[in-house]
Structure 1
Amino acid sequence: MSEVPMIAIVDDDESVRIATESLIRSFGFKTNVFSSAEAFLASSTMRETHCLISDVQMPTMSGLELFDVLRSRGAELPVIFITSFPEERVRRRAQAAGALGFLSKPFDADTMMSFVFQALKGRPLPG
C-alpha cells in the first residue's frame, strides 16, 4: 500500500487553517497544521511533508522567510503561498524563489487543489 501524501498548512489565522485542512482532507490527503513558521520548522513531521501551504504574512516569521529557511536547509518542498494582501512585488519574489503557487484569500478551492495535485505529480494519490 502506498503512502498517503502529507500536506502541511502554516497560517496564524485559525479559521483559515481549519478551512484549508478540511479542503485538503476532503481529497484524502493527510494534513499537519501549524500556527507559525517556527512551529513548522520545529516539528518532527517536516521531513514527511510532501507539500506546504503557507500564509505570507505572519507575526514573527513570514511565509517567505520560512521558504528561505527551507531552501537554505536544502529542502525542495513544493510551496503554495496564500495571502490576504496580494502585493505584486511579493508575488514576484515568491515566484522567483520557486514557489509553486500564490493565491489571494479567500482562494478558490479548485485552484488550490490544482496546485496541490501539481505539487504531488508523480506521487501515488489517495483513493
Structure 2
Amino acid sequence: MSEAKSIAIIDDDASVLDATENLVRSYGFKVRKFASAESYLASIGDVRIDCLITDVQMDGISGIELSQIMRETGVKTPIIFITAFPDERIRNRVMAAGAIGFLGKPFDSKSLIDCIERALLN
C-alpha cells in the first residue's frame, strides 16, 4: 500500500482550520495544519507536502504572498486557495499564477476534494 499523501492547511481561523483538517483527514490524507503562513514557511523541509490549502487573507503573510514566496524560492507545491471574500480579480490572479483551485467559504466538501485530487495528479 502506498503512503498517504500529505496535505498542509493554513488558516488563521481555528474553526475553519479544524473543520478542513477533519474533512481532508476523513478522505485518508495526512494533514499538517498551520495558523499562519509564517509557521508554514518555518516548517518547509521538515516533511514532504503534496498539496497546500491556504486562506487568501490572513494576518501577516497572506496566502497570495505565500504563493509568491514559494514560486520565487522554487517550491512547486500545488496550491488551493480558500477565502471568505471571493473576489473575481483575486481568483483570476491566483489561477493565472498556477493555483489548482479558488473556493469561497463555506465551500462544498466535494469541491475541495476534487481540487486536491487534481493537485495530486500534477
* Bucket of the pairwise TM-score, normalised by the shorter protein: over 0.9
CA distance in 2, matches of 1:104, 1:46: 30
| C-alpha distance in structure 1 between counterparts of 2:120 and 2:101, whole Å | 13
87-96 or 30-39, larger mean C-alpha shift: 87-96
Distance 1:45 1:28 in 2: 22
Residue aligning to 1:125: none
Per-residue CA distance 1:51-88 (angstroms, 9 max, x = gap):
00000000111000000001111111110000000111
Aligned equivalents of 2:114 and 2:49: distance in 1?
18
Q: Equivalent residue of 2:121, what SS?
A: coil
What is the Cα deviation at residue 96 of structure 1? Answer: 1.1
2:57 equivalent to 1:57: yes
* Structure 2 unaligned residues grouped into runs of 5+: none
Residue identity over aligned pairs, in percent, reads: 52
Provide runs of 4+ in structure 1 moved above 2 Å: 44-47
| CA distance 1:76–1:46, change in 2 (3 Å) | farther
* Aligned mates of 1:46, 1:121 — CA distance in 2: 23
Give the structure 2 partner of residue 68 of structure 1: 68
Larger relative contact order (Cα-Cα within 8 Å, sequence gap ≥ 6): 1
> What is the number of equivalent residue pairs in this alignment?
122
Q: Which amino acid aligns with 1:11?
A: D
Tell me the amino acid that sits aligned with residue 117 of structure 1.
Answer: E
Q: TM-score, normalised by structure 1?
A: 0.92
Encode CA deviations 1:63-120: one digit per residue, 9 max, x unaligned: 0000000111111111000000011111111011110000000000000000001111
Q: CA deviation at 1:4?
A: 1.1
One-letter amino acid matched to 2:17? R
| TM-score normalised to structure 2 length | 0.95
Which residue identity is paired with 1:95?
M
2: CA distance, partners of 1:101 / 1:33: 19
- Let me know the Cα RMSD of the aligned residues: 1.3
Contact kept in structure 2, 1:40 and 1:46, CA below 8 Å: no
Moved more, 38-47 or 70-79: 38-47
In the alignment, which residue of structure 2 is the partner of 1:116? 116
